[in-house]
Amino acid sequence: MSQFLSISGLRATIDDQGSPKEILRGVDLEIPAGEVHAIMGPNGSGKSTLSYVLSGREDYEVTGGEVSFEGRDLLAMEPEERAAAGVFLAFQAPVELPGVNNANFLRTAVNAVRRARNEPELDAVQFLKAARAEAKRLSMDAEMLKRNVNVGFSGGEKKRNEVLQMALLQPRFAILDETDSGLDIDALRVVAEGVKALRSPSFSALVITHHQRLLDYLVPDRVHVMARGRILKSGGPELAHQLEAQGYAGFLAEAA
Ligand code: ADP
Ligand code: MG
Ligand code: MG
């Protein structure tokens, strides 16, 4: 059976002051179409590295393994080709752009992907119509489109803006690395609701977090625990509760 996303034996290194440092040490992961999976794991286990390698960031060297995405060799595709194929990586730290209108900014991002997909670009009027409709569907205030990009936005508003961008790009596969947003409960809820609103048989997501709370809102289909560059254990949402109860140290000791 051809899986939607299939990662097998994935190894990757980063240049650490002149010598390669292995970070991913044989990652195996299958995400079927229409499912939302979560990865949890202690700091430094390679979660962010996995998201960067999947999105095609240059700093990493893939030294082994395979990633197939809808039957294509994802690792052979340029980052732009991956985006055109529907792979979306959410930004971890949204930039503030004073003087840049948010609607224009979002339209530029959407049109870049549409160009790569050979779809006609949206003019300002068409885009605003689509963006307002999407904002409404996500229960967001469309006034956000008129402001400057992220300037004076609360943590929750920045997340709303990111989720709006994700929704407008209509990804097939979204990777959200939520490591740094955990302190703001409002932001976590926005992410969870945004992913839930996109749930469909043709959308999958990989949500990286170490916040049990996010997973309570999101209710993922599967939870994977990553440690030392590999997926150590996979299970249902109850695995997140087990981790919470045991702590990573206790969990890793038991799994070893
Ligand atoms: P996580 O997201 O799970 O916290 P990361 O993928 O950010 O883990 O990092 C995995 C490991 O790779 C860590 O030990 C980190 O120190 C190391 N690492 C990440 N980037 C670099 C780099 N540029 N140079 C050297 N080591 C790095
Ligand atoms: Mg980290
Ligand atoms: Mg990280």
Ligand 1 pocket, residue 210 CB under 6 Å: no
Ligand 1 pocket, residue 60 CB under 6 Å: no
Say how many Å lie between the CA of residue 123 and the centre of ligand 2: 39
**Angle at 93 (CA atoms; ends 125, 111), nearest 5 degrees:** 25
The whole-angstrom separation of Cα 104 and Cα 117 is: 20
Beta bridge partners of 89: 175
The CATH number of the structural domain formed by 5-255 is: 3.40.50.300
The whole-angstrom separation of Cα 138 and Cα 158 is: 14
Angle at which helices 155-169 and 185-198 cross, to 10°:
10
What is the average pLDDT value for the chain, to the nearest integer? 90
| Sequence-distant (≥ 6) Cβ neighbours of residue 59 within 8 angstroms | 14, 15, 52
Angle at which helices 102-116 and 124-137 cross, to 10°:
100
pLDDT of residue 179: 65
Ligand 1 pocket, residue 57 CB under 6 Å: no
Among 40, 48, 49, say which to mutate for ligand 1: greatest number of ligand atoms within 8 Å of CB: 49
pLDDT of residue 235: 95
What are the extents of the domains in the chain?
5-255
The whole-angstrom separation of Cα 155 and Cα 147 is: 15
Q: What is the pLDDT of residues 79-131, one digit of tens each?
A: 889 988 999 988 666 789 999 999 999 999 899 989 988 999 999 999 999 99
Q: What is the pLDDT of residues 136-176, one digit of tens each?
A: 888 888 999 999 999 998 888 888 888 999 999 999 999 99
What's the farthest any 2 CA atoms get from each other in the chain? Answer: 57
What is the predicted ipTM? 0.95
Please give the model's pTM, rounded to 2 decimal places.
0.91
Ligand 1 pocket, residue 3 CB under 6 Å: no
Q: What is the mean pLDDT of residues 53-72?
A: 95
Q: What is the pLDDT of residues 197-219, one digit of tens each?
A: 999 999 999 999 877 888 888 89
pLDDT of residue 182: 52
